[in-house]
Amino acid sequence: MGTWSSRASPHAPSPCGDLLLACVASFRGTMGYARKVFDGIPHLDLFMHNVMVRGYAHGGAPAAAFVLYRRIGAASLRPDAFTFCYLLRASAGLPGSCAGYQVHGVVLKLGFLSDAFVRNAVINMHAKCGDLQVAGALLDEAGEGDVVAWSAVIAGHAARGDLGIARQLFDDCRHKDLVCWNVMVAAYAKHGEMEKARELIDRAPETDVVSWNTIITGYAAKGMLKEALDVLDEMKCAGWMPDEATIVSLLSCCANLGSLDTGRMIHSLHLEGRPCTSIVLGNALVSMYAKCGDLQAALEVFSRTKERDVWTWNSIIGGLAFHGQAEQSIHFFNKMLQEGMCPNAISFLCVLGACSHAGLVEDGQRYFSLMKDRYKIEQNAKHYSCIVDMLGRAGLLDEAFAILSSMRCEPSAVIWRTLLGACKTTGMQPWQTCQGEASKNE
């Protein structure tokens, strides 16, 4: 069910349906324009409704998918197997609700559970929502030959950390396909058990780019850069070229380890001369160069990145702040606001750190207030630690204590130690209070 198809309704798509399909597919999950087109079509058929339900389900808007589903009934249309497959995917995005069980009930009532695609979608939904007893019972009904169902239940147990059960199911599955092998390899890699992941991929009858990316990502997540690069060489020898996911994993590892030379090599070998059209890839490059201290390269990549999101800005703002370029960091934060990009909690953490190190107390206090007042972002312990550090460095201990008293939660030991250091530096007497609170909160 991963591709669009005219089989999404009993009728072939009309020109309007084709237009709607193109809108959903072209805007990578942003459904605003597609919804305007949908609302402007006078006679909506099931195919058009299914296109929208699928778009919302895949675009991370499960509640909107259910709104569109209700309109199917209101339009006197009868949902089909495709409708329920898409709706079940949306249900997996609402694990705390009873939506999945309700859809399962309708599927049973209308007799769609006999459809293999729908049954597997039901199993996958329950597995993703952690309802593994229900998923297991449906797997028993599906039979040994349904490897899609087996893979879904294996993935469900792996996601919950039950690797022993997942491996037992994997071993019991008699008709493993490549997806099934990749699911089990990913389970081990995600939990850091790289020896077992490597042993499985060596035994697998076939591999694909997903198999190799999984191993590379697993090694990269553990900081095992040499092993990740060795697998990259194996991957290329096996005839597979690294894709975006491979490069992003390797760049992330380089960033975390501060391996600038290796990061440059990866950039040069795999990306040099090609436009950086992907936000994810652009962010990985900016982050790698910024964290490794090559701010000039980070700024160059940033300037060449055509599309930016809040993480692109955070990478450059945080990198500049971390490496002592506080005023430039604040400049980019203000530029982000001017361009209409909405900051998040990390954005404010970066700019507060910059204000603290530059001694820009008034700016820091203004940004701290801006979080809650304009952007409705609740300050967390890290934001409080930054503002306390900034006030402490400036010798404004009364203001720092006032900030602590306004916290909704108990200040952590880290925050008290931050204030303790400021008290000792300035010779203020309240340091004894800070020392006692720091010990009490450990």
Same domain, 372 and 302: yes
Q: What is the pLDDT of residues 290-314, one digit of tens each?
A: 999 999 999 999 998 888 999 999 9
- 347 or 7: which carries more pLDDT confidence? 347
pTM for the full predicted model: 0.75
Same domain, 329 and 400: no
**pLDDT of 164 higher than 60:** yes
User: Quick check: helix, strand or coil at residue 412?
Assistant: coil
Same domain, 359 and 427: no
Same domain, 305 and 373: yes
Is 123 part of any domain? no
Average pLDDT over residues 373-402: 89
pLDDT of residue 397: 83
The two tokens of residue 417 are: 């130690």
| 28-45 CB burial, b ≥16 within 10 A, e <16 | eeebeebbebbeeeeebb
Element (H, E) at 169: helix 163-172
Is 351 part of any domain? yes
The two tokens of residue 381 are: 């312990």
Is 426 part of any domain? yes
Integer-rounded Cα Rg, in Å, for the chain is 26
Is 315 part of any domain? yes
Domain count along the chain:
3
pLDDT of residue 43: 87
**pLDDT of 431 higher than 80:** no
Give the span between the Cα atoms of 242 and 249, in whole angstroms.
11
Domain endpoint, select from 207, 232, 253? 253
Average pLDDT over residues 393-411: 82
Give the span between the Cα atoms of 171 and 239, in whole angstroms.
28
**pLDDT of 399 higher than 70:** yes
Which one-letter amino acid corresponds to residue 399?
E
**315: domain range?**
285-379
CATH number of the domain within which 347 lies = 1.25.40.10
pLDDT of residue 424: 66
pLDDT of residue 355: 94
Is 295 part of any domain? yes
Is 189 part of any domain? yes
Helix 194-203, helix 209-221: angle, nearest 10: 160
Same domain, 335 and 388: no
pLDDT of residue 10: 45
Same domain, 360 and 289: yes
Same domain, 294 and 363: yes
